[in-house]
């Protein structure tokens, strides 16, 4: 039986996100880890859109501290001698704008002071929780210790036909094609953005279409703020 729910995933290290993290993308990756298809996830669909929100970040009363982490994507032997960084002090390991190393760097936005990551959606709650037991870290740099998970709690919430697509305020909870959003008759919030985006996994490849979407800065709040937003107890 499909039910509306909210899930709170507690973390104890900074979180790195490159764009919105959608619940269907996370569950799809976990399904693949179990040798299943990325589409074999326990979420309901509405006109082909998974009913799973983007990540909502829980912080304390002072909010999150945003910074940027620069990491090497790969090593080019012709421009970077092996072991060169081993001979430099941390403060010297900076790469200027004209350095040949600039082309092998990748920027990762990071959020500190994030206590938990929330999602809301509609699906088979027991199966969602079962898949989430496999995840150890969240975000773009999970393999290096960012977004380390310390607990997962799932809550049943008031049933809603648009759970995971929109909040009770009518603000989009995830990326939704504009044509589908307009058929929901929820209007268009001035804070939402309209842009070309991908709306289904894998989010790093595939065609882009005009979508309405929240911005991550609008998906940050205290525990009380988020519980009211997703109508969790």
Measured over the CA atoms of residue 93, residue 94, residue 99 and residue 105, the dihedral's sign is positive
Tell me what pLDDT residue 68 has: 56
**Average pLDDT of the chain to the nearest whole number:** 86
Tell me what pLDDT residue 76 has: 45
Instruction: Determine which of 59-68, 180-189, 195-204, 222-231 has the lowest per-residue pLDDT on average.
Output: 59-68
d(CA 180, CA 211): 9
Does residue 95 carry a pLDDT above 80? no
Residue 77: pLDDT band (50, 70, 90) is very low
Measuring CA to CA, how many Å separate 57 from each of 9, 44, 48, 68, 130? 10, 23, 26, 17, 22
Backbone angles phi, psi at 101, to 5 degrees: -75, -15
Kindly state the tokens that stand for 150. 């310390």
Tell me what pLDDT residue 75 has: 47
Per-residue pLDDT averaged across 56-71, rounded? Answer: 71
Q: Is the peptide bond before 151 cis (omega within 30 degrees of 0)?
A: no
Residue 110: pLDDT band (50, 70, 90) is confident
Tell me the CB-side half-sphere exposure of residue 51, using CA atoms within 13 A.
24
* Domains in the chain: boundaries: 3-64+113-230, 67-106
At 131-168, the pLDDT tens digits run: 999 999 998 877 778 899 999 999 999 999 999 999 98
d(CA 43, CA 123): 4
Backbone angles phi, psi at 172, to 5 degrees: -65, 135
b/e string for 53-91 if b means 16 or more Cβ within 10 A?
bbbbbbbeeeebeeeeeeeeeeeeeeebeeeeeeeeeee
């Amino acid at each position: 039986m499909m039910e509306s729910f909210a899930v709170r995933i507690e973390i104890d290290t900074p979180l790195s996100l490159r764009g919105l993290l959608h619940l269907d993308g996370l569950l799809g990756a976990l399904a693949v880890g179990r040798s299943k298809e990325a589409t074999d996830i326990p979420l309901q669909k509405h006109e082909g859109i998974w009913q799973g929100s983007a990540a909502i970040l829980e912080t304390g009363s002072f909010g999150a501290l945003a910074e940027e982490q620069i990491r090497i994507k790969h090593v080019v032997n012709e421009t970077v001698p092996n072991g060169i960084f081993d001979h430099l002090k941390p403060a010297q390991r900076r790469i200027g704008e004209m350095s040949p190393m600039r082309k092998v760097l990748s920027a990762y936005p990071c959020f500190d002071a994030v206590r938990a990551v929330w999602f809301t959606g509609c699906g088979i709650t027991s199966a969602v929780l079962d898949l989430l037991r496999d995840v150890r870290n969240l975000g773009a740099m999970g393999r290096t210790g960012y977004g380390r998970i310390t607990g997962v709690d799932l809550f049943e919430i008031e049933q809603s036909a648009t759970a995971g697509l929109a909040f009770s305020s009518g603000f989009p909870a995830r990326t939704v094609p504009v044509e589908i959003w307009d058929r929901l008759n929820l209007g268009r919030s001035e804070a939402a953005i309209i842009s070309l985006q991908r709306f289904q996994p894998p989010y790093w490849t595939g065609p882009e279409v005009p979508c309405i979407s929240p911005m991550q800065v609008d998906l940050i709040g205290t525990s009380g703020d988020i519980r009211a937003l997703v109508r969790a107890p």
